[in-house]
Structure 1
Amino acid sequence: MLYNPTPDALFAPVAAVDPLGFGKVAIVTGCASGIGLAVTQQLLAHQFSVCGLDITSFNYDLVRVTDHGRFHFHKGDLAAAGGCEEGVRICVATFGSRIDVLVNVAGLMDNFSSADGVSDDVWDKVIATNLTAPVMMMRAVLPFMKAKRDGAIINVASTAATSGAVAGVAYTSSKHGLIGATKNVAWRFRNDGIRCNAVCPGAIDSSIGKAIANGSNEPWDAEGFAEVEPFHALQAKPSASAPTITPHEVAKAIVFLVGDHARTINGISLPVDKAWGAV
């Protein structure tokens, strides 16, 4: 425990090991870059064993050699049939039949198409990656968490989860849906010792953030982007006085929600956006 059950007891922190993650297992999707990589690094630093899942290759040079024994990477497509279940099977085969934490980070940006122009391909890919895969990941880990009546799930949403002026209709719908899924899981399994929360990052210095800032996605919907660009200009273009949010800052918020300090926090959507969501 990282707190005292009563305020008048002597607080004696554990010095030998990090109590946050020692002996615990976490799954992180989208672990190869951006927020997913930062979460992986942070959890390993707190002595979690981490099973990282991503559709792209992982650079082991970005993980300390001393942490390699507690990290296993599996390359696969979570949006493919059975992809989520396979990732969980790999985790269990590697670290045993306990899963303490799931962090759903993997995400795909759309091309800013609006409802009158979004293609079937863009819609299907974004919804499959940003909404269906996180829900299927939660479905796959819940039996393990229910068995030990303990677990923490963090879904990485976006400012687009609460605003219609951030992205196209596919990305916006996927992130709004992810918040709904987060709340539903939090309520449904609150009495099983399972917490499910979301973080809503603003403009991030990551692959998706750079795609938004640079307009690099193709085929680009110029008309759709023109409608949201003034909103992005509030944060997506950093200055000396207002730098972009780093993936590690989001990762630290996630680590907080995973730990005992947040043991009564359940079903929230935590903005990490320098007040962007206040607009």
Structure 2
Amino acid sequence: MVTGAGSGIGRAAAVRLIGEGARVVATDVVEQRLADLAAELDGRDIVTVAGDVSDVATIDAILEATEGTADGLASVAGIMDSFLPPAEMDDATWQRVFDVNLTGPMRLTRALLAGMIARESGSIVYVSSEAGLRSSVSGAAYTSSKHALHGYAKSVAFYYGPKGIRSNVVAPGGVNTNIVVEIKSEYAATRVGPVIEHIATPSVEAETIAATIAWLLSGDSANINGAVLPSDGGWSTI
């Protein structure tokens, strides 16, 4: 199961997993992106579900498509917050970012865990961000949601590791995707801009992150559980 599969890291992950022989159920909020992906992978084992991952109806549709038997989940879908700092954060932005970045992954994980627990097998990978490791590369809502996602992933690992289920996080640095990075706050620009300019490592292609996701979903990483793995070219060491 791959969320955010219509573009960027999610799309690269879906293509990579299918290339390695997986059957993929792919979801995205933009139906045309999924149609384009399915057309590119014509003849391969892919099922698409269009919808917002934070919507309960989408979760229900995913469960129907997977028949509750997903061996792995790559939770990639996420949105940013225009770098709004705490004093400028509005309720709507805060709620929307948390709905997509945290509540959606929680609901989908909860829905798929029943089948994984019954089989005593499963691997979950959440795509986070450098913003989950520091507070200077995005706004308050995005940063908070990614920190919270790390805690949730570790909670899944703690509770269900003994049941044969692994839960890990990939925290990318810059990635070349279609996400538009817009700084709506003048104050945030003065604080965030210099930090990114001086310490950010070069951006990579989405396929680089997809390779890490595929590894964490595979048996090759069988002893990795509850980890937050930076894939940032060393950015997190600065």
- TM-score norm. by structure 2 comes to 0.94
Q: Which has the higher helix share?
A: 2
Q: Aligned equivalents of 1:243 and 1:121: distance in 2?
A: 32
Q: Among the aligned pairs, what percent are the same residue?
A: 31
Report what 1:90 is aligned to.
Answer: 65
Q: Aligned equivalents of 1:60 and 1:78: distance in 2?
A: 18
Report what 2:216 is aligned to.
Answer: 257
Pairing 1:245–2:204 present:
yes
- Give the deviation of 1:86 after TM superposition: 2.6
RMSD of aligned alpha carbons: 1.5
Number of residue pairs the alignment of both structures matches: 235
SS, match of residue 106 in structure 1: coil
Which amino acid counterpart does residue 128 of structure 2 have in structure 1? A
SS, match of residue 35 in structure 1: helix
Structure 2 spans left out of the alignment, 5+ residues = none
Which amino acid counterpart does residue 232 of structure 1 have in structure 2? I
Report what 2:22 is aligned to.
Answer: 48
Which amino acid counterpart does residue 172 of structure 1 have in structure 2? T
Pairing 1:29–2:6 present:
no
Does the 8 Å contact 1:167/1:225 carry over to 2? no
SS, match of residue 207 in structure 1: coil
Q: Aligned equivalents of 1:232 and 1:61: distance in 2?
A: 36
Does the 8 Å contact 2:157/2:226 carry over to 1? yes
Q: Aligned equivalents of 1:235 and 1:256: distance in 2?
A: 27
SS, match of residue 103 in structure 2: helix
Which amino acid counterpart does residue 61 of structure 2 have in structure 1? E
Query: Which among 12, 18, 40 is matched to residue 38 of structure 1?
Result: 12
Which amino acid counterpart does residue 46 of structure 2 have in structure 1? F
SS, match of residue 229 in structure 1: helix
Deviations along 1:64-97, one digit per CA (max 9) or x if unpaired, are 3231xx10111011222343233222222xxxx4
Which amino acid counterpart does residue 230 of structure 1 have in structure 2? P
TM alignment of 1:164-243, pairs within 5 A: 164-208=135-179, 211-212=180-181, 215=182, 220-234=184-198, 243=202
Does the 8 Å contact 2:6/2:37 carry over to 1? no
Report what 1:163 is aligned to.
Answer: 134
- Give the deviation of 1:131 after TM superposition: 0.6
Report what 2:56 is aligned to.
Answer: 81
Pairing 1:133–2:110 present:
no
Moved runs in structure 1, 4+ residues, more than 4 A? none
